[in-house]
Amino acid sequence: MQMIKAAVCHAYGEPLVIEQIQLAAPGMGEVEVTLDAVSICHSDISYWEGKFGGSLPAVYGHEAAGRITAVGAGVPGFAMGDDVVVTLIRACGSCPNCGSGKPTICATPVDPTAGPLKTADGGKLSQAMCCGAFAEKVVVDQSQIVKIPADMSKDCAALISCGVITGVGAVVNAAQVRAGQDVVVIGAGGVGLNAIQGARIAGARRIVAVDMMADKLEIAKEFGATDGVLASDPKPWRAAIKAMGGKADAVIVTVGAIPAYDSAPRYLAMGGKIVMVGMPAAGTTAQYEPIIMSNSGQQIVGSKMGDVVIKRDIPWMVDLYQQGRLKLDELISGRWTLEQVNEAIADTKTGAAKRNVIVF
């Protein structure tokens, strides 16, 4: 047991408190990672606002990178000093979903309050999303980490572990876009920009970004969008269809706003696929016309974390980054200290930021 500094949520929506907490040594199958960087994701903010539930007090943060500083028993393939990314994708490896090659939907529940974290006085402390990475160190399951090159900057590496794999994976794994197809990406935020560059990497012909903000459409073009359409247009699909010269083979919805889900089929070609990636508030519902889907042979699928297999997909994304074919540096809009976490969250909430990263 050791004491580390962490940003703790004691009440939903109240500023996180920087305090000392207890971190247990890694157990069977676990490693301790001393963090160099953790980025702020909208899921962290939704948890902090209480939209996703979960017990308090809690430590959020789940897009992290660092170096292994302790290794528990039964961890083949990792050693002290390895540079790694830390993801929230904890997979038991033995449930039917893991056995089917779908670790992002592992069916084995994890009790976050029975994890490695405790408050300074030994009270319950939730390790949110199996990470608790708004802290100097994490102890996580070996299924959650992937080795990265020692010379890769950790702030860029941290981004890969959630927003990048979710966006790129939605296009490559979930939609299975192939060269020459047309893709619409609704929302040009952290995940949307990565869906756009996923479509570029997959060889899409036209990539249409749809967003409420004109400046985000300009950024989207830097990431590979061929066309941009303002979502404030009452019928934005018209301009998108005009740009593509037809309808889309894949529509990737990366936002939480329900109108985006309601309108997604408007962009879609016969035989096309809508991939739902965004996380609208629990309880909200969308509407669609079933006859169009059935008569047109269309699909609507949900994709969690880009349907990635992290030990397969993260190494090739890292390699594309090193070749200059996957943009990561350009995703970072600000760097902050752990003490500035509340300011960094406030900046992310404005919606203008790409990704804010806390560096240690």
**Binding positions for Zn ion, rule: CB under 5 A:** 41, 43, 92, 95, 98, 106, 108, 162
Beta carbon of residue 318, minimum distance to Zn ion (angstroms, whole number): 18
Q: Are 61 and 140 in contact (CB under 8 A)?
A: no
Beta carbon of residue 103, minimum distance to Zn ion (angstroms, whole number): 7
Beta carbon of residue 123, minimum distance to Zn ion (angstroms, whole number): 27
Q: Are 27 and 1 in contact (CB under 8 A)?
A: no
227-230 and 207-211: which strand pairing?
A: parallel
Which C-beta is closer to Zn ion: that of 98 or that of 269? 98
Which C-beta is closer to Zn ion: that of 95 or that of 239? 95
Which C-beta is closer to Zn ion: that of 235 or that of 312? 312
**Closest residue to Zn ion, based on beta-carbon distance:** 41
Which C-beta is closer to Zn ion: that of 69 or that of 333? 333
Residue 45 CB partners (closer than 8 Å, separation 6+): 345, 348, 349
Q: How far apart are CA 202 and CA 179, in angstroms?
A: 6
Q: Is 232 exposed, middle or buried (0-12, 13-18, 19+ CB in 10 A)?
A: exposed
Closest among 139, 138, 137, 115 to 126, alpha carbons compared: 115
Which residue do the tokens 């056995």 mark? 99
Which C-beta is closer to Zn ion: that of 98 or that of 317? 98
Beta carbon of residue 60, minimum distance to Zn ion (angstroms, whole number): 10
Three-state secondary-structure class, residue 9: strand
Q: Are 211 and 191 in contact (CB under 8 A)?
A: no
Beta carbon of residue 97, minimum distance to Zn ion (angstroms, whole number): 6
Beta carbon of residue 39, minimum distance to Zn ion (angstroms, whole number): 8
Which C-beta is closer to Zn ion: that of 17 or that of 279? 279
Q: Are 56 and 113 in contact (CB under 8 A)?
A: no
